[in-house]
Amino acid sequence: MPSELRDGLRVALPDEASEPPGSAWRSDYRPQLRISEVGKLVAIGDGIARIEGLPSAAMDEILSFEDGSEALVFDLGRTRIGAILLNQREGLAAGSSASLTGRRLDIGVGDAFLGRVVDPLGHALDGGLPIQCSRRRALEVSSPPITARDFVHKPLLSGNKMIDTMIPIGKGQRQLIIGDAGTGKSSLALDTLVAQKGRDVLCVYVLISQKRSAVVATIETLREAGVLDISCVVVAEATTTPGLKFLAPFAGCALAEEWMGAGRDVLVVYDDLTTHARAYRELSLLLRRPPGREAYPGDIFYLHSRLLERSTCLAASLGGGSMTALPIVETEQGEIAAYIPTNLISITDGQIYLDPALYARGFLPAIDITRSVSRIGGKAQLPAIKSEAGRMKLDFLQFLELEVFTRFGSRLEASVDAKIRRGRLLRELLKQDRLAPLSPEQQMAWLVAYGDEFFDGLEGTAVQERLRSLLEQAAGKTPELSAGAEAWHAAVAAWLPAEVKVDEPSA
């Protein structure tokens, strides 16, 4: 067999006459040393794997074990790697070999996920067929730069009287829902999702460390309201590993980002980030990272900031899509100055605070308007509603300040007493049932009726009966919001029964 000298090495060449047809011989072949790293699993437990012998491993890289199990690199030590188990098979045990894959964790994305319930890895949990998708996105990506963003200028209608009139939310905003356990935070978020029906807004609901009963109740609520087909539910149950709980909000964000990049409007709810922070603390303590305040790791702020900063309104040159985030955080005994709540308040563009005292008194939703704020404000509010809501908000805030004086039992001036009676009427008007979102026309109708004093003189159930009658009228044919104030005032006056109207004062 002939040979030649190449780069100092004697390489044997086949005889062309004896070379079989279709041979895979390459004349430019170079012999070289092939090196592959093989690690060894030394410990496993609580959803965490510790591996030795993979010096080239990188953060967020996927590792593969000999039995087919996979893990995500989460901690790099001097001699060992800490990894989150993504899927664990029965044969995985200490001593198993591990190898690098060079892949980062991603999830399938696209319209195939609408109407489905999935885990943080994109696997179906609703008993349906496996989800087929042609595109995938990494769970961890950088947030859009400033040059790729636009000002928040379009309203995201929640259907709630207090939010749409006094704490407006814009598409691309990050609005925190905060309050004690059992004050209706999840119910308020679900109401906002239900209000997106027919508004060309897609929804992602992320359930983190929730009981299975709560998960089933949420899914059934969305199905009965007819919004499950425009939603995707990402579930990390309370019984799952802390690693999957940690990945759940990033999976939901990746799903929403795909639709935002396609120029669509998306609403994503994280329920809730308190349990997400606890799962991250559990992971960090299992991997023996140095604990900080309340045993949370030092990068707990960065954990939530890099998640919520991905919610924005994209510039028109990039499609003009938006992702609105409603993160939920739980407080204890109303302490909003706790570690995790203050972190999230500083990251988000405002907060909706639910007061347990208001909840106990039956004022639902129990939104404390004095502690709630939207930093976007009227910039993302419908102009017609903004003009009518200004006077109403001022009346309500003045009433909350003056109501304190009624506790002393002293006599009040006539003007002060009138403001208090009008404030109590307004508080009755602001009550709202669950899963009963209002359209912008209905919001406009009750604002005009209140401003024109058509509810004055009514109390208790009479207020709700007349309000219900007005909203039924407004749900039918109504003037356009841009029709002008005179058209709306005339329409509301025609809808209300004569006995509700206030007589004109005599000269």
Q: Give, in order, the Cα–Cα distances in Å from 453 to each of 408, 422, 450, 487, 504.
A: 28, 9, 5, 17, 11
Residues 344-353 as b/e (b if ≥16 CB within 10 A, e otherwise) read bbebbbbbbb
The tokens describing 221, both together, are 């609520």
C-alpha span between 15 and 11 (Å, rounded): 13
Length of the chain: 507
Residues noted as catalytic: 375
CA distance 27 to 33: 18
The Cα 94–Cα 329 span in angstroms is 38
Which DSSP string corresponds to 102-165?
EEEPEEEESGGGTT-EE-TTS-B-SSSPPPP-SEEEESS-PPPPGGGB----SB-----HHHHH
Long-range CB pairs of 400-405 (<8 Å, 24+ gap) are 400/369, 400/370
Amino acid at 498: A
Parallel, antiparallel, or unpaired: how do β-strands 350-354 and 97-104 relate? Answer: unpaired
Contact between 368 and 353 (Cβ < 8 Å): yes
CA distance 171 to 112: 23
Cβ burial 67-86 (10 Å sphere, 16+ → b, else e): eebbbbbbbeeeebbbbbbb
For 125, counting Cβ atoms within 10 Å of its Cβ (0-12 exposed, 13-18 middle, 19+ buried), the class is middle
- CB hemisphere CA count around 57 (13 angstroms): 32
Q: What is d(CA 351, CA 348) in angstroms, rounded to the nearest whole number? A: 7
CA distance 309 to 304: 8
H/E stretch holding 494: helix 485-495
